[in-house]
Amino acid sequence: MSTSENFPISRRGLLAGGAVSVAATTAAGAPAAEAQPARTKERPPTARVSFEVNGAAHELELDTRTTLLDALREHLRLTGTKKGCDHGQCGACTVIADGRRINSCLSLAVQHDGDKITTIEGLGLPGNLHPMQQAFVVHDGYQCGYCTPGQICSAVAVLGEIEAGIPSHVTADLSEAPKVTASELRERMSGNICRCGAYSNIIDAIADVAEVKA
Ligand code: FES
Ligand code: FES
């Protein structure tokens, strides 16, 4: 006996039957997907932040997740401060907040309510450069310049830290006041990465401002 005699349904008939059966099942109401509640478009929470940037008072209504870096660049259009990694790894976003250098990409703007922020624009501008900016020019402390605003803000704060006697990891005897030496400067500037590798000229520039030989 042939196979078609054992199973008197043709392949074409089987496929057609299947299609009809699927259609019937759907029409008969296979369990419908549960109705999803309509999504409401919630606005993210905002907060009012007041701070002083480069001597000018600012009040901003910000999404509470806004970093200080984005508040400076996107809301105040102070684009001198650069976004490199946005993860606290490169130092390109360094600014000075109440006298301390910080990575502005790691800090929420709302944490700086009432603070005094200094960015590269607040240190000096063309025609009236800060001594550190001038020294970077004289010593060729940059190539592409992308890291430079962060390097300069950091360098200014580093000399302040040494002057204030704040020890670093390389200060051999922590009871001794730190001195401006090349190794001290390198250690303190180690959070500012320069992909162009202008490191030795950067150290020369900082040492020049500190009036020591690196
Ligand atoms: Fe902030 Fe790199 S952008 S540390
Ligand atoms: Fe290019 Fe530093 S000057 S990254």
The reported pLDDT for the residue numbered 54 is 98
* Mutational test site, ligand 1, from 67, 101, 105, 151, max ligand atoms within 8 Å of CB: 105
pLDDT tens digits, one per residue of 87-115: 999 999 999 999 999 999 999 999 999 99
Q: Do domains 45-123 and 124-214 have the same CATH topology?
A: no
pLDDT tens-digit profile of 39-63? 777 889 999 999 999 999 999 999 9
What number does the ligand 2 atom closest to the CA of 196 have?
Answer: 1
Q: Which amino acid is at 68?
A: L
Q: Indicate if the pLDDT at residue 6 is higher than 70.
A: no
Looking at ligand 1, which atom is closest to the CA of residue 94? 1
Which ligand gives the minimal distance to the CA of 142? 2
- Mean pLDDT over each residue of the chain, to the nearest integer: 87
DSSP 8-state class, residue 184: H
SS (H, E, C) the chain: CCHHHHCCCCHHHHHHHHHHHHHHHHHCCCCCCCCCCCCCCCCCCEEEEEEEECCEEEEEEEECCCEHHHHHHHHCCCCCCCCCCCCCCCCCCEEEECCEEEEHHHCEHHHHCCCEEECHHHHCECCECCHHHHHHHHCCCCCCCCCHHHHHHHHHHHHHHHHCCCCCCCCCCCCCCCCCCHHHHHHHCCCCCCCCCCHHHHHHHHHHHCCCCC
Amino acid at 148: T
**Res. 136: pLDDT tops 70:** yes
CA distance 27 to 19: 12
Ligand nearest to the CA of 104: 1
Q: How many CB atoms lie within 10 A of CB 213?
A: 10
Measured CA to CA, the distance from residue 59 to residue 110 in angstroms comes to 11
pLDDT tens sequence across 168-185? 877 656 677 888 999 999
List the CATH code of the domain at 124-214.
1.10.150.120
Domain boundaries, the chain: 45-123, 124-214
What confidence score (pLDDT) does residue 1 get? 43
Q: What pLDDT, on a 0 to 100 scale, did the predictor assign at position 12?
A: 55
CATH number 3.10.20.30 given to 45-123: yes
Mean pLDDT of 142-152: 98
Please tell me if the CB atom of residue 84 comes closer than 6 angstroms to any atom of ligand 1. Answer: yes
- The pTM score is 0.80
Per the CB < 8 A criterion, the answer to whether 64 and 110 are in contact is yes
pLDDT beyond 80 at 193: yes
Q: Exposed, middle or buried: residue 144 (CB in 10 Å: 0-12, 13-18, 19+)?
A: exposed
